[in-house]
Amino acid sequence: SSLEIPSEYVKGQTLRDIIKVNGALSQRDCEQVMLGVLNALDYSHRMGIIHRDIKPGNIMISEQGVDGIDKLD
């Protein structure tokens, strides 16, 4: 059996869809995405939650960009 945890709705696209449409990310965008992912994983791990399926299809990029900083180029 699996445990599912509900999360807030994020209006945006998955990283997979962004890469599919735009191709590879620039180094700057890749760094921003990875920092956001690592910050989220750090927080969830401190809360005792382990995500076992990290992949581009499970990484949401909001319309405001990564962590609300700016949109991806």
Q: Which of 42, 53, 67, 70 is catalytic?
A: 53
Q: 53 an active-site residue?
A: yes
Q: Residue 72 to residues 13, 35, 40: CA-CA distances in angstroms?
A: 11, 13, 18
Burial of 41 (0-12, 13-18, 19+ CB in 10 A): middle
Quick one: how far is CA 12 from the chain centroid? 10
Mind telling me the catalytic residues? 53
